[in-house]
Structure 1
Amino acid sequence: MNQSIVGYHKDEEDDWVAELKCGHFQHVRHNPPFISRPRVITEKGRDSLLGHLLKCKKCDLGQPSDL
């Protein structure tokens, strides 16, 4: 199920985590060359992705909110 990004926070390893409208969290790491997401590095880049839809596997599995 697709859910929109409503915010961000960093995890204990200093990686960015998207907070989804459904209450689930999803990592949005920038870890080149394996994962290239340079927009998550800056606040302006992250703000540009607010409202962007991500596939939420936790919703598909019926898992409870991460909040």
Structure 2
Amino acid sequence: MNSNVKFQEQIQSMKAQIEAMRAETEASAKHHDDWVAQQNQRQPKSILARIVHSVLVALKLMAP
């Protein structure tokens, strides 16, 4: 029974970590969307610049 309690505690801890990562990802995405909107208002970017920026953002989000 004791191992079951520990297992349940580990599950709850993992759920909390997942929720924290989800919230962080959502906040980062919103920040990025806001930044993109601001940049688009300032000056239009070339297609190549947008692609490079998107790749860099994707790599940043994948980093541990």
For the aligned pair, the TM-score class normalised by the smaller chain equals: under 0.3
Work out which structure has the larger RCO, using CA pairs closer than 8 Å and 6 or more positions apart in sequence.
1
Structure 1 length as normaliser, TM-score?
Answer: 0.22
Q: Which has the greater radius of gyration? A: 2
Structure 2 length as normaliser, TM-score?
Answer: 0.22
Instruction: Choose between structure 1 and 2: higher strand proportion.
Output: 1
